[in-house]
Structure 1
Amino acid sequence: MEPNVTLTALHDFCAEGLGADLADRFVRLARPGFGLAEAGAGRAAAGHSRFGGRALLEPGTEWPTCDGFPLSLIAVLDTDALAPWLDGVLPAGTGLLNFFALDSDSEAADPAAMELSLKYDCFDPQVGRVIAARPTHAVETAPPTRSSVFDPTPWAAVPGFAFPDAYDPAWDDLDLGPDVDDMARAMPDTYIYDLLPEWPQRPGALESEDIAFGRPAFPTGSSPMLPDGEDPNRYHHLLQLSGQGEWYIGGDGGWMHWSIPTEALRAGDFSQAIPTPDIW
């Protein structure tokens, strides 16, 4: 499956219900991404991509902390295995991305992590970190004492194109044309999908609760919570986890996300990546 071929097929699919002009504008909202699922049963692992296990860091890299307390390795994405579908989203040679978070909810969590979670809310940049590593230099790195360790689950990655969540402010930039009514402008996603009744069968459908890149989904009906009320349109989504058995966030539930300013992503500066979870 080639991204450009799939994107053309997706445009043609949308043009049947929306017309060519609106389809052009709508499909510009699509972002390439991957649905993540446990590898096996005919689904090959996407390189070193996985939930849990040990971090893959370059020697000398400091383990990330919050107030001196070690964060926990949650996941690894092997972007070399994903890059052909991402079409320039990532700088060449990005390699491995290690995703860390403060684990205060799992059975493996240290009691001190719970105390920290009362001090720092789940959106604070200190409680989530992303660290890149070159695959040729990275080694499995043992976590510090009190950092949670989760059983590794290799991931298969199914490519597709993600569109904005219903409450994502990205919809504000979609020009529906001069002839639509106020209701359509107030609920552009409803207007669009009413015109595309076969939407679940579209080319490149990305229907997964665990997603790499693409766009985030927020079941609570919100949008990314960013520092100082920054514009979510200036950020790019990195990873969404709806829950992984051993690990979850937010008490009774929650979906974890990490996002990064688009300019920082283009520059390969993952030190600016932040947690943007959805908690209920």
Structure 2
Amino acid sequence: MLKKNFKLALFITFLGIIGVISIMPYQFTFIKGMVDQLGDIPIPVVLALGVVQSTILVFILTNIALLVHKRTGLDAPHLRAWVNKTEQKPFSWKWVGIGILVSFFGSLLVFVLDSFVFLPQIDTTGIEQSPKPLWWQSLLAMFYGGITEEIMVRLFLMTIIVWILAKMTRKEGKSIPPIYFWIGILLSTLLFGVGHLPATIQLFGELTPILLLRALVLNGILGVWFGYLYWKKGLEYAMISHMAADVFLHVIFANLFT
């Protein structure tokens, strides 16, 4: 099993590192304003250490997920077939289109909620305005969200949650109740939102109930959809849909309306 998954794990890790490298120009916009906090550490060293750390993390998480995927049926079927040169089901462009369409409306909902519901209730007095990344920096960042985050949140976290539930109840494959997958979707999405709380605190200087709700809701709306795609169609569809959402939200809407 380890040997069978090794090539796929290497390839998925390679894709994940593309995402890590792609977000660097986006991160550099914010790091420039934190030079004093870095001390004597050169920015290139900080970025290089980040790549190494992320490479190790993604490789470990990918191997764990692929090791237990067989019980859950959650997988990256097209990538697996391509890497192992085996026969695969036709790629569904219909579902790619559905994924992009839902991402458009989901991103629009996130933008509207943040602009007209959450931000008006947040006191930003005294908060230093964050630098705005250039459009191309935000465009490149979609590879981190669409690939690297999907590897960590869906391929690893959601798979592990479903695997634990299936293992505890001795279920496998098609015998796993749909509720297990929904628990995996919702819990992994919730934890993803919780993972954004440190950035929220750094940005606003505190964590209030409205800021907590903002982080969980805005990061959760589309996360549920990505999890559903991963469950029903495969990791590839979740990745494409996530990349599309990042383009809509951080490139198109952010530059058209702000």
- Shorter-chain TM-score: what band? under 0.3
Give the number of the structure with larger relative contact order, counting CA–CA contacts within 8 Å between residues 6 or more apart. 2
Bigger proportion of residues as helix = 2
Taking structure 2 as the reference length, what is the TM-score of the superposition? 0.27
Taking structure 1 as the reference length, what is the TM-score of the superposition? 0.25
